[in-house]
Amino acid sequence: MPVICDRLREAILSFLFPPVCTCCATLLPPPGALLCPACHSRVQTITQDDPLFFLACRRLCEDGPCADVVSAYRFEKDGPVQALMHALKYRGGTMVGRRLGAQLGQLILMRPWAPMIEVVVPVPLHRARLRERGYNQAELFARGIGSVLGLPVSTSGIRRIRCTQSQTTLGYAERQGNVHSAFEPCLRGRHTLRGKTVLLVDDVITTGATIRACAMALVEKTGCKVFAASIAQADQDS
């Protein structure tokens, strides 16, 4: 039923709003594509020999609480991935989020540990931020991943208890301090997530401080095993 609803919603949206490239607004030749071929060719995937990937592995896995990390794309300022992230705010944003999530889900399926995952958890926003923005982009991605993996998405197990300042101008050490103890499993989460193998999802990993702090709370307070995933990874200078 949800699949039929998604398709119906997509059909209505493409009728009301003729599909255009999310990045450059030209009419899209391939049906259902989010980007035109020219913009699509500028999307850079994150490969396992990418220095950004090495850095994320070191901070999140070797020196951090995660068992592994998967990201789909490189985030470039003013690039097509930024345009896709920006599109989440506007019409059809839910559909864009779910489709990006589904693409990441396909990458996760290729990992040997994919069958171990029991639940998908988006990195939560503080409730004040959620009220201001109206949606949590990580949740949209988590729902796309959940549909590909056939897994439940939990949005009530862990919450953000501190409304941290914007991180864009902070370095890694400052960001770590900024988000330290920002996440706390709620009473229900301590029970429902206890001992589970979790896929923790965020939109963009820059220094990794946010997803690291959230994973740390899940590992230390609920005994979870955590795999991390993000749609994109960004250079700190992006």
For Zn ion, the binding residues (CB under 5 A) are 21, 23-24, 36, 39
Minimum CB separation of residue 63 from Zn ion in Å reads 39
- Structure-token match 């999310």, residue found: 22
- If the CB atoms of residues 21 and 104 are measured against Zn ion, the closer one turns out to be 21
- Please report how close the Cβ of residue 28 comes to Zn ion at its closest, in angstroms: 8
C-beta closer to Zn ion: residue 21 or 96: 21
**Nearer CB in complex with Zn ion: 4/27:** 27
> How many of the other CB atoms lie within 10 Å of CB of 190?
15
Q: Do residues 209 and 178 make contact, with C-beta atoms less than 8 angstroms apart?
A: yes
CA distance 7 to 95: 10
Instruction: Write phi, then psi, for 71 (nearest 5 degrees).
Output: -135, 150
Find the Cα–Cα–Cα–Cα dihedral 102, 224, 48, 232, rounded to 10°. 50
- Calpha distance 110→134 (Å, rounded): 33
39 or 153: CB nearest Zn ion:
39
**Nearer Cβ to Zn ion, position 21 or 43?**
21
Dihedral angle over CA of 8, 9, 13, 15, nearest 10 = 10
Phi/psi-derived region of residue 92, left when phi > 0, alpha when psi is between -120 and 50, beta in every other case: left
